[in-house]
Amino acid sequence: MTEPNGTDPDPGGRRARSASVLLLAVAFLTVSPFVALSQGWAGAEWVAMWATTTRTPLTLAAGLLQLAAPTLFVMLVLAAVGTWRRCQWSLPVGSIALLGSVLVVAGPLFGIGLASWLPLGRALALATIGVAAVMLWAARRGTRSGRTRLFVWGVAGYTLAAAAAVVLALVAGGLPGAPLISQVRSGPGVPERFAAPEQEQNPAMAAFPFAAIHNDAAQSDLYPGPVAIDPGTAELRTFTAGGGCASIAWDSTGNLVAVCVADAVTAHVIDPESMAGLASYRISDRPYSADFLTDFGGGGYMYLDHTDAIVTPTLRRTLLVLEQVRSGDSGAVAQRLELRPRVEFDLDSALVPGERATSALPDSSGRIWFVGQQGTVGFVQPDTGEVVSRQWPGEDIENSFAVGEDDDVYVVSSTALRRLTARGGDIEVQWEAAYDAGTELKPGQTSAASGTTPTLHGEGLVSIADNGEPTHVDVFATADGTRLCHLPVFAPGEGATENSLVALGDDLLIENNLGYGLLDVVGGHSTAAGLVRIDVDRDRGCAIGWRNDTIRIPSVVSKASAADGIALTYSKDESWWGADRWWITAVGLADGRIVWQRLAGVGSARNNHYAAIYLDPRGNVVVGTAMGIVALAAPRS
């Protein structure tokens, strides 16, 4: 309405209403409402983890960071309502919230808002923030002081809700599944059961296939059995470690053994039924660095030996053997379990300055082989402590390696795949095969080369994925290194893999990890889609068996279950409304379609971040996550 002379009787009110609408627009563009809900849910759980379990600054910081998303959303909404009602406090609250919005939109957290789904969304969001700031400042005249009840009630309500969530997580040991999300989904996929090839047990490792991140020394990622648990009846259980648990194994008693990495590297022994910790040992502190989230040295890989001891490289440039020691009356129902160092081998003389050992595995003769990040390969003679090594200067080794039944060792570096063996106190190269390492670090990879650990499979085959454009699967003969296949598996510019291939006898599975990053899969975003079966024929070469171009697998080490006829993986859908849903997923090996999915959780706490999925000896499904372990286990009787 205007006066007869054409003037607006309440220009401040019009500006206030405009500013209010713009503040609401900024709230939705900056933080998706579901992200605010789910991140608040997850943040409360992380703060509870810090208070009860981990006591690490990293856990508390992660929890508070996740609570920042709902806090910003609430501040913007409060400022919008307060501006509409001409409250004086809305100017400082709105100004702070708009500054926070700029930091979100201009920074790596841009993906948590609805703007991230729009064309030119970042520019649109920044422009909206700018106009909102101008209108908020213009609406300051005519505001009224003393109208603080709305602000007080809003802040009090939000604080009480967050505190209640933290208390609930403290009391219950965690929060129930996030609201508005289904828990189980079924699909039309067709399983294809098959008899897994017989594999000779490595005498220096725990029982096959439960000894390491890739199951065994051959790095097969294959389970002959048992049958996986029914996802519809299984219970979801968690173990909180305060860091990522990539490497998991099972000892001779059935206990779960893990090495978890955060601001410290810690080994854990865990009850497989209750997921309660039985023993732990702090291996080393872990300093923060630029590659803190993608450096797997000093704890990313470990294996369990035949005595149930943990064998792992450390950040001290050593190889540590941790044994399980039980004390107390042998007839007692519950003995005290401890992890103690049995021996620690010094690798300092074998590694180049500044190099870390990445992985270790034994051969059948008892040597413990290891690789270093800057091109070192070596082994330790456990009985004497002698260390033998060989360097390939200028080459990187970022992943683990495979060990064959004849003590043949297969290592992929940034330039070549090599078959090595110990000979006369030295390391001999039996053959070397170059591959296309590419020219760039693709999004989702941790190094600009092959992201795969070599996979031994079938009768005399070893395979890797290259880093070419497009990505290829290369299959070699173990006898002489002859390349049998060089098969493109993803379209140019649309594929990258950072995980080992999965063995299906002669055949293989490869997943697409293009676009993965810890902050790239928030706000409902995910990675490029792709899971491909490669059929390998020695005479006719390789061919695509099937292709699933809809499943999105951000970074998990997938596995196959021969007894079920399925691939087990960890997938994440895209969701424009911001639901970060992480699914334990079974894919039929016959056709590549989904058989079933079970929700593991919502939010970044359930991100596996390069960890693996596992079957345990009981058929439970276990996944390492960014903050610990999630398991689908049989219901408690």
Least confident of 78-87, 280-289, 352-361: 280-289
Percent of the chain at pLDDT above 90?
69
Least confident of 129-143, 208-222, 401-415: 129-143
Banded pLDDT at 334 (limits 50, 70, 90): low
Banded pLDDT at 286 (limits 50, 70, 90): confident
Per residue in 61-73, pLDDT (tens digit) is 777 888 888 899 9
Q: CA–CA distance from 370 to each of 307, 366, 373, 375, 409 (Å)?
A: 19, 13, 10, 11, 10
Percent of the chain at pLDDT above 70?
92
Contact 29, 128 (CB under 8 A): yes
Banded pLDDT at 1 (limits 50, 70, 90): very low
Task: Tell me which range, 353-357, 529-533, 540-544, is most confidently predicted by mean pLDDT.
Answer: 529-533
Buried b (16+ CB within 10 A) or exposed e, 377-389: bbbbbbeeeebbb
> Percentages helix, strand, coil for the chain, rounded to the nearest 5?
20, 30, 45
Mean pLDDT score, 550-559: 97
Contact 247, 213 (CB under 8 A): yes
pLDDT > 60? residue 5:
no
Provide the pLDDT for residue 542.
Answer: 96
Mean pLDDT score, 145-159: 76
Mean pLDDT score, 556-583: 95
Banded pLDDT at 132 (limits 50, 70, 90): very high
Q: Taking the mean position of all CA atoms in its chain, how far away is CA 522?
A: 13
Provide the pLDDT for residue 182.
Answer: 66
Least confident of 171-180, 453-462, 587-596: 171-180
Provide the pLDDT for residue 420.
Answer: 98
Residue 494: exposure state from Cβ atoms within 10 A (0-12, 13-18, ≥19): middle
Provide the pLDDT for residue 331.
Answer: 54
Banded pLDDT at 605 (limits 50, 70, 90): confident
- DSSP track, 195-248: -PPP-PPPTTBSSTTSSBTTSSTT---EE---PPPPTTTPEEEEEE-SSEEEEE
Least confident of 43-52, 402-411, 530-539, 627-636: 43-52
Mean pLDDT score, 513-539: 94
Distance CA 59, CA 489 (A): 39
Number of Cα atoms under 13 Å in the Cβ half of residue 253: 15
Provide the pLDDT for residue 354.
Answer: 92
Mean pLDDT score, 600-629: 93
How would you classify the pairing of strands 264-270 and 472-477? unpaired
- Using only C-alpha atoms, the chain has a radius of gyration, in whole angstroms, of 27
Q: Which residue has the higher pLDDT, 152 or 192?
A: 192
User: pTM here?
Assistant: 0.91
Tally Cβ neighbours within 10 Å of residue 155. Answer: 16
Provide the pLDDT for residue 610.
Answer: 94
Provide the pLDDT for residue 173.
Answer: 57
Per residue in 456-479, pLDDT (tens digit) is 999 999 999 999 999 999 999 999
Per residue in 73-122, pLDDT (tens digit) is 999 999 999 888 888 888 899 999 999 999 999 999 999 999 999 999 99
Per residue in 9-56, pLDDT (tens digit) is 555 678 889 999 999 999 999 998 888 887 887 777 778 777 776 667
pLDDT > 60? residue 174:
no
Which of 220, 192, 199 minimizes the C-alpha distance to 564?
192
Least confident of 43-47, 316-320, 598-602: 43-47
Contact 46, 66 (CB under 8 A): yes
- DSSP track, 490-536: S-TTS----S--EEETTEEEEE--TT--TTTT-TT------EEEEEE
The tokens of 138 are what? 């213009």
Average pLDDT, the chain: 90
Q: Is the dihedral of CA 139, 144, 145, 151 positive or negative?
A: negative
pLDDT > 80? residue 290:
no
Encoded amino acid at 291, one letter = D
Provide the pLDDT for residue 135.
Answer: 92
- Domains detected in the chain: 11-172 (no CATH), 184-633 (2.140.10.10)
Q: Which residue has the higher pLDDT, 240 or 530?
A: 530
Provide the pLDDT for residue 193.
Answer: 94
* Secondary structure letter of residue 147 according to DSSP: -
pLDDT > 70? residue 386:
yes
Banded pLDDT at 532 (limits 50, 70, 90): very high
Per residue in 481-508, pLDDT (tens digit) is 999 999 999 999 999 999 999 999 999 9
Banded pLDDT at 513 (limits 50, 70, 90): very high
